[in-house]
Amino acid sequence: MTYARDVGALARKDLLLELRARDTLPAMLLFVVSTFVVFHFSLPAHPSRLAASGLLWVAILFTALLGLGRAFVPEREQRVLDGLVLAPCDRSAIWLGKSIATLAFLVAAEVVALPVYALFFRPLSGAAVLGVALADVGICAVGTFLGAMAVTTRARELILPLLFLPLAIPIVIGGVGSGAADSPGRYLGFLVLYDLLFAVVCWASFEYVVAE
């Protein structure tokens, strides 16, 4: 199971980097809470269940984008990615390790953000929280993948939202549905499907993103 060990080593490296820098996670936290406050002022009072669910997802999506934009910055500096690509490990391990670390940050941010949301707007059902968890997996898998692509371009982090948002639309639909629909099961199932499908596609094609 050297693959698992490689992924573990890489994920640990990313967690360590963030622990040292301590910039991405606090930024995400502050951003998401500020966004909630902005929403309070920009939307009518007592939003409906659907509207409230929607604004939660907008907040999550853009907070995630904030974190994802930074994901491959350490590798871009000093071209460290070359060093990782040269290593004998499977290139997809780079993507998987980074996704796991990013997922950890996103979840950490949500551990604060979701209660704040419940405080400001309306409480979250169990299905909604499960939807958030499932969507996080998809967001991190696809977002990390696209982040690696974005970092090699001239536009860098600027291009990540453009690449990511069309792919994120199904996630948002799944997430909003699991929070607002009467029968969230379908939406949760859809999120599982999305996660599996795109995780496989990302896993199989990451090789081509980093190696010539």
Chain residues in the site for other proteins (CB under 8 A): 2, 5-6, 9-10, 13, 16-17, 20-21, 50, 74, 77-80, 82-89, 149, 152-155, 159, 162-163, 165-167, 169-170, 173-174, 176-177, 180-181, 186-187, 190, 193-194, 197-198, 201, 205, 208-209, 212
- b or e along 89-99 (b: 16 or more beta carbons within 10 Å of the residue's beta carbon)? bbbbbbbbbbb
Q: Any idea of the CA torsion for 26, 17, 84, 94, to the nearest 10 degrees?
A: -50
Strands (E) located in 32-89: none
Minimum separation from the CB atom of position 41 to other proteins (A)? 25
Q: Closer to other proteins by CB, 40 or 186: give it.
A: 186
Q: Taking the complex as a whole, how short is the minimal distance between the CB of residue 157 and other proteins, in angstroms?
A: 11
Query: Is 64 or 172 the residue whose CB approaches other proteins more closely?
Result: 172
Q: Which is nearer to other proteins, 49 or 112 (CB)?
A: 49
Residue 84 contacts residue 38 (beta carbons within 8 Å):
no
3-state secondary structure 182-207: CCCHHHHHHHHHHHHHHHHHHHHHHH
Contact 30, 10 (CB under 8 A): no
32 versus 64: smaller Cβ distance to other proteins: 64
CB of 140 to other proteins, least distance (A): 16
